[in-house]
Amino acid sequence: MTTPQDIIRRDVLAMTSYPVPDASGYVKLDAMENPFPLPAPLAAQLAEHLAGVALNRYPAPRPGELLDKLKRVMHVPANCDVLLGNGSDEIISMIAVACAQPGAKILAPVPGFVMYQVYAQLANLEFVGVPLNADFTLDTGAMLDAIDKHQPAVVYLAYPNNPTGNLFDENDIERIIAAATRSLVVIDEAYQPFAERSWMPRAGDFDNVVVMRTVSKLGLAGIRLGYLAGRPAWLTELDKVRPPYNVNVLTQATADFLLDHIDMLDAQAAQLRAQRARLAQEVAALPGAEVFPSAGNFLLVRVPDASATFETLLGARVLIKNVSKMHPLLANCVRLTVGSAEENTQLLAALKLALH
């Protein structure tokens, strides 16, 4: 009898699925989600709006009105198109599939977003990770050397970076773009609402640059919508590997409705930026805690013992992310999502116990 071991690729058999812990009953501060629900009156309006969606019909593959609204609200340059994905994860997968020529490589700084490497592997591409400096800045010389040596098809630059939280220097990014003459440079702005700095206005200025975003961190993680902005020459080709109905009708209708209420989502992001400053200051005052600068909705913190800290917080029903085993540069580091004022107070109380 045929078994999975007979059919499935050996490297897939050796993989583990992406870990998503059960957060029931916990203060959930492990996944960089916006903690605020929609205001009740707005949620009621959205429910009425969704009631009119034709669930019996396939979604529009390129919903023109939604794309136009997204371009306008997110200030996408006039000479750029937009491609939608089921979260930015699907866009990363689409880029990998489209560029998967024999011998092609994907390059990114590490530690960084793990899915760049995962989707490279799934598309049978080699992933080249270039370590950051000890302070998590780009090792620009090493990046330029790696680009020259490997001639990657794709270079990812997260702005800000996950899990370190910092914004890479703009001059360093420009040098990398200039050197990557045979590469597509993807600037990943998943956390742009908290960075207040962006490459989007320049998305159409370069022959080899696209800007990727998601609405997840803006407060809409549940609808799974990512988008890619760039020159039509790139997006036309990437669109060919997009599944024909990849963004469902409820996601499209929700995004269309809530883009009309972007001020509310921006106000929530402003609250989280203020809470980030408060949390950084109070965590830094705890014994043994080193807080790294962050332009995201999370903080990277080095503690004396990451595993012990994680377990102590777990016992206090607070769920954070232990990233200490992801890369040697992250030794004894944990990642704290910035929550509401009440959630952050609970987090601080648990951290005081852990670091006493």
- Do residues 295 and 167 lie in contact, with contact meaning Cβ atoms separated by under 8 Å? yes
> How do beta strands 333-337 and 321-322 pair?
antiparallel
pLDDT digits (tens, 9 = 90+) for 116-149: 999 999 999 999 999 999 999 999 999 999 999 9
Q: How far, in Å, CA of 108 to CA of 157, rounded?
A: 6
Q: What residue spans define the domains of the chain?
A: 4-40+263-354, 55-261
Q: Quick one: pLDDT at residue 24?
A: 87
What CATH number was assigned to the domain covering residues 55-261? 3.40.640.10
Helix (H) or strand (E) holding 81: strand 81-85
Q: Quick one: pLDDT at residue 23?
A: 85
Q: Does domain 4-40+263-354 have CATH number 3.40.50.300?
A: no
Q: Quick one: pLDDT at residue 348?
A: 97
Q: How far, in Å, CA of 148 to CA of 158, rounded?
A: 20
Q: Tokens 């116990």 correspond to what residue?
A: 353
Q: How far, in Å, CA of 292 to CA of 164, rounded?
A: 8
As a 3-state breakdown, the chain gives helix, strand, coil percent values, each rounded to 5, of: 45, 15, 40
Q: Quick one: pLDDT at residue 154?
A: 98
Q: Which parts of the chain register pLDDT below 70?
A: none
Half-sphere exposure of residue 348: CA atoms within 13 angstroms, side-chain side: 19
